[in-house]
Chain A
Amino acid sequence: MSQDRPTTGTGDAPPGSETPRSSWPLYEVFVRGKRGLNHVHVGSLHAADEEMALHNARNLYTRRNEGVSIWVVRAEHITASSPDEKDSFFAPSADKVYRHPTFYSIPDDVPHM
């Protein structure tokens, strides 16, 4: 995913070139496998624009009915959390044990709980 990439290439024009040359921007691709499921990240691809990204994603990631819906998003537009070992971003979710049902002890003979 974009947040995974130290570099993103939008491609600068080489000297003397009139047209924007070189690499097309990177898009991340998300596919909904079937109705009722979330879109899931499946990989990335390069395309000149959104529409081409969508078509390329269909050809690349759904050649065998792998999906019913596709999202593409410019990799550089994704903001991501830092890797786990570098900060305590997720720490608050670990120290609130009372958010889990198992925190509460209920006698075994209380039904349906």
Chain B
Amino acid sequence: MKCQECDKQAVFHITELETGEVRELHLCEDHARTYLNQSESAEGDDDEKASGGGLTGPLTVGQTADELALLDKKACPMCGITFFEFRNQGRLGCPHDYVHFEKELEPLIANIHGAAQHTGRKPQRPQADEGSQLSEGSQLPEGTEELTTVIGLRRSMQEAIACEDYEQAREVRDGIRGIEDRWLPDAARDPGSPPAGPPTS
């Protein structure tokens, strides 16, 4: 892809998020530097800008094109999205991205919201039915990290099936069921499935 300001190769793909609108920029290194310098100095003395919050401003500070290229290839192990894809689309791939890309996202989020810690409501966890296997001691944690690993497990199950490694696929499937049973105690299962047992070790 060419730089939108000149004929050189575009190496910076910048996604600006302003007031819910996504604007994409494709720039060569020189034009990217000019652009980022402009937006930084604009942020310094223009308080209106503070509310909009560019997605890339803090991200690019002190990062060379090489470092960025490396970062761009970093992929989420659950959904497979790369940081490059996120920067292009302005949309994340799955809940785990907030953990996997935390270091990169933190300055962006702090810039957008002027804060980096949630202080609002917490979810009401799905209640286990009476008589379900969920014992009183096994309280679900606040964060849903464990349940989100199902996204990655589903992918490895598909891969195992594709390699005709059915033993492996079964094991992964049991792992998925174990997690889902903890989190979705009254899950509506496919009619044909056997009742879920405890996770296989």
Decide if A and B are genuine partners.
no
